[in-house]
Amino acid sequence: GQQQGGQQQGGQQQGGQQQGGQQQGGQQQGGQQQGAGGGAQGFLSLNTTPWSQVYIDGGFVKNTPVMRHQLAAGRHRITCINQQFNLRVTFQVTVRAGQTQTIVKNLMGGAEGGGAQ
């Protein structure tokens, strides 16, 4: 009987390790959610003519096309830069949780991109 009890105790120890793993995972998920404004996530798809470098809230993301880039729900400042044509267009987008905001912009259109913002 004592041996069986010892095995059970060992099982409890393993369970403790698993719980520790879950706690770590919870902390990591919490950090991601906090960094994204409470966990509400949406997506942004963006393409421009001509191609451009895409900056979101001041940070470089990638060159167009941008497909379903994950963002926190809310307002974001998008800047599209094409050095070849000396183009720089900045505009605001509102991303809704669970939805994809799709934007197609012609950078040659000038003020159409809301450059005054």
In tens, the pLDDT along 10-26 reads 444 444 444 444 444 44
Residue 48 lies in a domain: yes
List CB contacts of 33: < 8 A, sequence separation 6 or more: 39
Residue 15 lies in a domain: yes
Rounded Cα distance, 16 and 18, in Å: 5
Domain count, the chain: 2
Residue 110 has pLDDT above 60, yes or no: no
Q: Does residue 11 or residue 98 have the better pLDDT?
A: 98
32-75: pLDDT as tens digits: 333 444 589 999 999 999 999 999 999 999 999 999 999 999 99
Of the pLDDT bands very low, low, confident and very high (cuts 50, 70, 90), residue 83 is very high
Q: Are residues 31 and 74 in the same domain?
A: no
Say if residue 89 is exposed, middle or buried (CB neighbours under 10 Å; 0-12, 13-18, 19+).
buried
Q: Are residues 65 and 27 in the same domain?
A: no
Give the pairing of strands 87-95 and 74-82.
Answer: antiparallel
Domain limits for position 88: 41-107
Residue 26 lies in a domain: yes
Q: Are residues 50 and 27 in the same domain?
A: no
Residue 2 has pLDDT above 90, yes or no: no
